[in-house]
Amino acid sequence: MTRWWPVLAYAALILLVSSIPASSMPVSQTLWSLDKVMHCLEYAVLAALLSRALAASAPGLGPAALWAAAMLGAALFGAVDEWYQSFTPGRLSSRYDALADAAGAVAGAALNGLWLVRRKGSQSHGHRS
């Protein structure tokens, strides 16, 4: 269960930031020009955290199922977050932001999946005599 706390805390942080009215957000041309990159990174982290938690909770889950579950979970959360954000004053819901969230979810789940596979491989090689 301890692997799920970072997932929950990070998801809460995402929702907290989505609750900030546009008038209270920092205004920076550089920040806004990097908007889609920031969405990708945000959801790559969420997918990696989800992948890590799922791997600990369901050790029999294969790499492809683990990737799919983490990717779908993070991408769906991104879509829900975009909808949620539409109720925040001055903030908009954007399908392009949701697509960037999904792209980040794919990348984060894939990178964490590769890391888990490599780690398992190196652990099994280390135990051979």
pLDDT at 8 over 80: yes
Tokens, residue 92: 């908009």
Residue 114: pLDDT band with limits 50, 70, 90: confident
**How far is residue 60's CA from residue 54's CA, in Å, rounded to a whole number?**
10
**pLDDT tens for residues 62-102?**
888 989 999 999 999 999 999 999 999 999 899 999 999 99
Which spans in 1-129 are helix H? 4-18, 29-33, 35-57, 63-85, 95-126
pLDDT of residue 129: 43
Burial class (CB in 10 A: 0-12, 13-18, 19+), 72: middle
**pLDDT tens for residues 15-67?**
999 999 988 876 665 555 688 899 999 999 999 999 999 989 988 888 889 89
